[in-house]
Structure 1
Amino acid sequence: MQWNSLLNPANGPFVALRRDVERHLGMDSEPTYAGLSVVESEDRWTVSVDVPGLSEGNVNITVQDGLLVIEGERQLNAPENARIVFNDRSAGKFRRTLRLREGVDVNSIDAQLQHGVLTLTLQKTAEAGAKKIAIRAGN
């Protein structure tokens, strides 16, 4: 019996195209097993990153020079005196980089890891919201 994976999205035909688009948008990714989404609401951005099997000690989050960097590493372990005969699970280091928009309060970024999903909450500053301009009546 031969073990193989018929569909491995990490090696699919559009991976290079997606990486080029991400770089153009100020995002960067290396092995793509850490899927990412960004959702905007009125007062915050929520970034969700898939990091199944990782704990807080395997993930680092930094903010510097307007960049939010999420990086970590997943080990592929086999018991002693055993060998891996098939694997299509992602392993190794990953790094996701997002360019922060103006109006992010970097001092209030909150990170929570639950059920293999890292959720970052980035609060907007008062300047980031819409500002109503009052109109004065002319004399």
Structure 2
Amino acid sequence: MLPLSRTLETLLGLQEAMDLARDTGFFENTTTSRGVYPPMNIFEKDGDLVLVSELAGVKKEDLNIEVKNNILRLSGERRIDYGENVSYHRIERTASKFDRTLRLPVNVESDQVRAEYIDGLLVISLPRAESEKPKRIAIQ
């Protein structure tokens, strides 16, 4: 039988492994994303869509954004490198690749999509396609 301190250490290690597996999407059964990273909010503003995503620690050149009709794909990689001869005592921030595909509620004008990335916050402006905008009908 293991001493109590060793048992607690083992259980904490198991809990950390389960948390990591959950956070990386190991238990997801969908093909539209791998995990919940990066977290995203999508909202409508003035008839167009805006996506805001937190990507702390990701470099702009490590991001890829694709959009076609009403499908948006955000992929990239978060790299973490503390150099050589480092002894880790706790690892909660992990390096990882991510790839999320989202179905937007409307088609967008892909040639007019704009993205800004400042201080780890990605903001993507997604103009609604003309064919999706309501048309005013004149009464004759």
Give the TM-score, by structure 1 length.
0.72
List runs of 5+ in structure 2 lacking aligned partners. 1-8
Tell whether the 8 Å contact from 1:46 to 1:120 is kept in structure 2 after alignment: yes
Percent identity of the aligned residues?
A: 26
List structure 1 runs of 4+ shifted beyond 3 angstroms: 2-6, 100-103
**Structure with greater contact order relative to length (CA < 8 Å, sep ≥ 6):** 1
Q: Which of 90, 113, 117 does residue 113 from structure 1 map onto?
A: 117
Matches of 1:92 and 1:76 in 2, distance apart? Answer: 9
User: Match of 2:22?
Assistant: 11
SS of the counterpart of 2:111?
helix
Matches of 1:133 and 1:49 in 2, distance apart? Answer: 37
Deviations 1:73-120 (A, max 9, x none): 112223211132211113210111112444411100001101111110
Matches of 2:103 and 2:54 in 1, distance apart? Answer: 19
Tell whether the 8 Å contact from 1:31 to 1:93 is kept in structure 2 after alignment: no
**Superposition RMSD on alpha carbons, in Å?**
3.1
Tell whether the 8 Å contact from 2:62 to 2:78 is kept in structure 1 after alignment: yes
Q: Closer, same or farther in 2 for the Cα pair 1:125/1:64, shift >3 Å?
A: closer
Higher helix share: 2
Tell whether the 8 Å contact from 1:10 to 1:33 is kept in structure 2 after alignment: no
